[in-house]
Amino acid sequence: MSSRRLRELMGEGVVHAPGVWDGLTARLAEQAGFSALCASGFAVSASLGYPDAELYTMSENLEATRRIRESSGLPLIADIDTGYGNAVNAARTARRFRDAGVAAVFMEDQESPKRCPLCVGDPVPLVPPEEAAMKVRAVKDAVGDDVLVIARTDARGEEALHRAKSYAGAGADMVMPVTRTFSTIDEWARCREAAGVPLVATLTASAWTEREFTPRVLEEVGVAIALLPTQVLMAATGAMRQALGRLAAGEPPADVSADALPHHEFVDLIGFAEVEAAQKAYLPAARGGA
């Protein structure tokens, strides 16, 4: 059970999980040495050419999650947005992601369709607290101990503390304030005390949590999982945009390739050698001509 492995990792210290969105990024993250992955909704949406506004469907998100799981056996934390509807919809969503082999899911308390709080200026509309808590209860009832349930809140201040406590009482294994939920480290510590369960932090690129949540701070405020949801996406997008711009401007392809990952290194990391070995192993000659 991948959730058991994730719990074991949390017992060893804060788990850092980079945001991935397909098989290639999952493979790269595992090769880099990470112990867990996050199927970042922001990144999955971007890979489809959309902003993080719940424009994709549950099935599209699930398909991306399955591709990630096929490429890596690391515990996977999946973003299920708002659960794609009411409590019954959210429970079905959680069951589908459980069946796909994820270790944890996180669901936010926004109204559907969600809006990325870092990308819009106004406070995002939230589901009433009692209804949001019952959605958490429905999700936990649906997956039991097979999957860790992370309840995300996009509320702020005292309301966020109230919701965190309520969601933990409804069965959430962990609570995730977003980067704009609180503005100080002390507020995060208060949230951990109010909820009574470990916290999940999103160290989103360019957010204050990315700058100030050092390993020491993460431990002090009770964060068990630190997500890195957009760093890889931003780095990859910048590199791709630069390469495409150079090619479109007429720069010789060989010059652009000279500044990129060498072909032989890519062949190695993507696993051609392993596939070739497996193909040969199943040829008749490899079995003594049988």
Confidence at residue 2, expressed as pLDDT on a 0 to 100 scale: 80
Q: Is residue 79 pLDDT above 80, yes or no?
A: yes
Q: How much is the CA Rg of the chain, to the nearest whole Å?
A: 21
What dihedral angle (degrees, nearest 10) is formed by the CA atoms of 41, 43, 46, 47? Answer: -110
**Domain ranges within the chain, ordered by starting residue:** 2-236, 260-290
Confidence at residue 194, expressed as pLDDT on a 0 to 100 scale: 96
Q: Is residue 32 pLDDT above 80, yes or no?
A: yes
Which CATH number applies to 2-236: 3.40.50.300, 3.20.20.60, 3.40.47.10, 2.130.10.10? Answer: 3.20.20.60
**What's the whole-number mean pLDDT along residues 250-269?**
96
- In angstroms, the CA 280 to CA 278 distance is 5
Predicted confidence band of residue 117 (pLDDT cuts 50, 70, 90): low
Compare 113 and 289 and report the one with higher pLDDT: 113
Whole-prediction pTM value? 0.94
Distances (CA, A) of 111 to 39, 50, 63, 171, 200: 21, 19, 23, 20, 21
pLDDT above 70 coverage of the chain, percent: 96
Predicted confidence band of residue 116 (pLDDT cuts 50, 70, 90): confident
Q: What is the pLDDT of residues 15-28, one digit of tens each?
A: 999 999 999 999 99
Confidence at residue 284, expressed as pLDDT on a 0 to 100 scale: 86
